[in-house]
Amino acid sequence: MAFTTGPGGSGTPGGSTTPGPSGTPGGAEESTRADRRRGMQAERIRRPRMLDLTAEPVTPRRATAEAEVALSQETLSAIVDGTNPKGDVLSVAELAGVMGGKRTSELIPLCHPIPLTDLLVRATPDRAAGVIRIQSEAATTGPADVDMEALTAVAIAALTVYDMIKEMEPGAVVRSARVTSRSGGEAEWRRPMEPSDATRPPRGARIAGRIVNPAVRTGPPGRPTGHR
């Protein structure tokens, strides 16, 4: 039997080794390349990464957030009267909130480190609602919003309230941690007022020796915008 050499290969009976469909040496190579490309694409989709803020404008930015800790009237009285075994619940919670807000980028993996220019945390007893209301306001001048810093601050403050009173009331509930407003950057956004807000004390009302100064939360509904 005679062996001939075709264009693209030699040593095969009357043929060549040009790439063929899947299952032949050439087809297997093409299939491997396609699988590799798909794998790289999937890897790019799945890989966690920080957003690139290089082109974002450096502008003043501000955000507010709030959270609640639901408590019994007995526990609220102990907090207000200063008879809680661990001491001043409200002051410790406010300080913890400030400390936590400043370390947001260390706690949330893909948050950018932000040089805060202001961070205020308030913890206020509300006997009528049976809660400690926690509110924060964060500010910076930079390319990234500060909603995560405001939200982290109220979350840490709320957890601190729980830690301070857990011996008295282990069933206390931390709830409703949420951003209430954001300004600066591309657009402003405020959370619409909710029906439960109508039961809250008016702005400037005095409760348990403290001035209640809730964050303004009225405004048209909108979709949050931001860079993080």
Active site residues: 163
- For every residue of 18-40, DSSP letters joined together read ---SBTBHHHHHHHHHHHHHHHH
CA distance 79 to 81: 6
Rounded to 5°, the CA angle 176-79-152 comes to 35
Of 15, 6, 19, 172, which Cα lies nearest the Cα of 89?
Answer: 172
Instruction: Give the helix/strand (H/E) hosting 207.
Output: strand 206-207
Is 74 exposed, middle or buried, given 0-12, 13-18 or 19+ CB atoms closer than 10 A?
Answer: exposed
Rounded to 5°, the CA angle 98-101-104 comes to 155
